[in-house]
Structure formats: C-alpha cells, structure tokens
Amino acid sequence: MTIPSAEASPTEASPTEASPTEALSKTAISKQPPAKRGQGTAKVRDADATRKKLLGAALQIFSTQGYDAASTRQIETAAGVKRGLIGYHFGSKQDLWKSTADEVMKVAEAELVTALTAIERIDPASRLRFFVRSYVSFCAKHPELNRLMIQEGMDRDWRLSWLLERSVRRWYEQVCRLFEESVALGLAPKMDAHHFYYIITGAATLMFSNAVEAESLSQQNPLDPAMVEAHAEALASLFVAGESG
C-alpha cells in the first residue's frame, strides 16, 4: 500500500488559510470606526482653520493698535482659540506679524499687479484713470492694509524695512512711473510723482479706513458699491483730463 505524502493529504489545512488568531486580528481591523481613517485630513483642516483665525485676528489688531500694543494673548482671544497656539503655528509674535503682513501683501499683489498688467493693454491716454479707479476699488475692499501702513510708517524699525522691501518700494516705483508717463502725455497735472503717490494713497484710502467717521458725517455707508464708484470717479477726475468713464 502506498502511504499518501504530506502534500497530498486532504485533511491538512491549505497554506493560504488564515489561522484562528490571524482571522480574529483581521476582523478587529475591519471593524475599526471609519472616522479614524480620515483623522489625518481632519487635523490638517483644523490646523488650517486655526491658522486663518489667528491671521485674521492679528491683522485686525496689528492694524488698529500697532505691534507693540498687541499681545499674543489678546490675538488668541480675538481669534477664539486656545492659549499657546500662536507659538505652535507661528513660533513668536514677530513671526506672526511677518506672516500676517505677508498675507495681506499677497492679496494686494494679486489684485493690484493684475490691474497694472492690464494697463499695458490699455490706450496710454486711459491708463491713469483706469489705475485710480482700480486702486480706489481695492482700498474699499482692504482698508486694513492702509491702517497697517499708517501704524508701521511712523517709526524706522524692522517692520517698516520689511514692508518696504517686501512690496511697498516696488509698488511706489510703479505708481510714480505711471504718473510720470501721464504727465509727459499732457494728461495729468504737473507735479512731482512723489506728491502724487501720497495724495492718491491718502485720498483713495481714508474714507474706507475711517469708515465709521465717514458714515457718521454723511449718513451714507462708504462701502456701498455706489459710494465706492462715486469716490473712484471723483478722484480720477481730479487727476485725469478728459471724459469720465
């Protein structure tokens, strides 16, 4: 009689079958709550949301109270987050300020650089009017940028130097060059471009930076689209010869 070999034994378990211990382990894994599988993504979303809250609160406080008067506790409270999260997300108050200023400069670049790029495709006679109107519209949407610049423009320190090198000096040069081109064409009043820069900056921003005052005096909301449009046209007409529009 031939004795069947071990490989041929019909009663022996197949090597692909899981042992009872392995089967129990697989069952336990498959029964884990599905929510745990997305915990990593949820944590990233929560971290991003916290960071945005801190940046928003920091911009509001830095632009209205100034860097020295602002405290990390005050910013965290305004953001509605736990103590210590500025250190966790940004490292220090100084780094938070840089991140905050960088965010608002990115917004300015995205909108104003787009306007300056579009100017290149516009007839030279219409460029200054287009710029003034675009700038007023931007200032109405982002009054916090001018407030921040007022706070930081009063002292020679690392924050002003940072702002100038980050964006402001380049913006100043572009605006002055545009104005000088319009003067050369006889389309704008003759004055030093430096004066134009500060006249346009003050006139385009103040009504929106001081919106509460402006509304109290006029009983009209300065941020109403019709008011923004009227202000843009009035300012453009002061500097640009020719028809409105």
Q: pTM for the full model?
A: 0.77
The Cα-based distances of 131 to 114, 125, 185, 193, 236 in angstroms read 11, 12, 16, 14, 9
Tokens 């200054």 locate to 128
Q: How confident is the model at residue 47 (pLDDT cuts 50, 70, 90)?
A: confident
Q: Identify the burial level of 209 via C-beta atoms within 10 angstroms of its C-beta, where 0-12 means exposed, 13-18 middle and 19 or more buried.
A: buried
Mean pLDDT of 114-140: 91
Q: What percent of the chain is predicted at pLDDT more than 70?
A: 80
User: Is position 16 within any domain?
Assistant: no
Separation CA 6–CA 127 (nearest Å): 92
Separation CA 88–CA 51 (nearest Å): 10
User: Is position 13 within any domain?
Assistant: no
Q: What is the CATH number of the domain that holds 143?
A: 1.10.357.10
Give the tokens for residue 223. Answer: 């941020």
Sign of the four-CA dihedral 220, 222, 228, 234: positive
User: Is position 197 within any domain?
Assistant: yes
Separation CA 233–CA 245 (nearest Å): 8
User: Is position 5 within any domain?
Assistant: no
The answer on pLDDT for 132 being more than 70 is yes
* Domain count across the chain: 1
pLDDT at position 116: 82
Give the pLDDT confidence of 61-97 residue by residue, as tens digits: 999 999 999 999 999 999 999 999 999 999 999 999 9
User: Is position 41 within any domain?
Assistant: no
User: Is position 60 within any domain?
Assistant: no
Mean pLDDT of 22-33: 46
Beta carbons of 158 and 93 less than 8 angstroms apart: no
pLDDT at position 103: 96
Q: Flag the least confident range among 11-20, 80-89, 97-106, 233-242.
A: 11-20
Nearest to 184 by CA among 222, 139, 128: 128
User: Is position 23 within any domain?
Assistant: no
Question: Residue 244 carries which DSSP code?
Answer: -
Contacts for 215 with CB less than 8 Å, ≥ 6 apart: 221, 222
Q: What is the DSSP string of 151-210?
A: HHTTS-SHHHHHHIIIIIHHHHHHHHHHHHHHHHTT-S--S-HHHHHHHHHHHHHHHHHT
Q: How confident is the model at residue 243 (pLDDT cuts 50, 70, 90)?
A: low
Domain of 135, in residue numbers: 93-239
User: Is position 75 within any domain?
Assistant: no
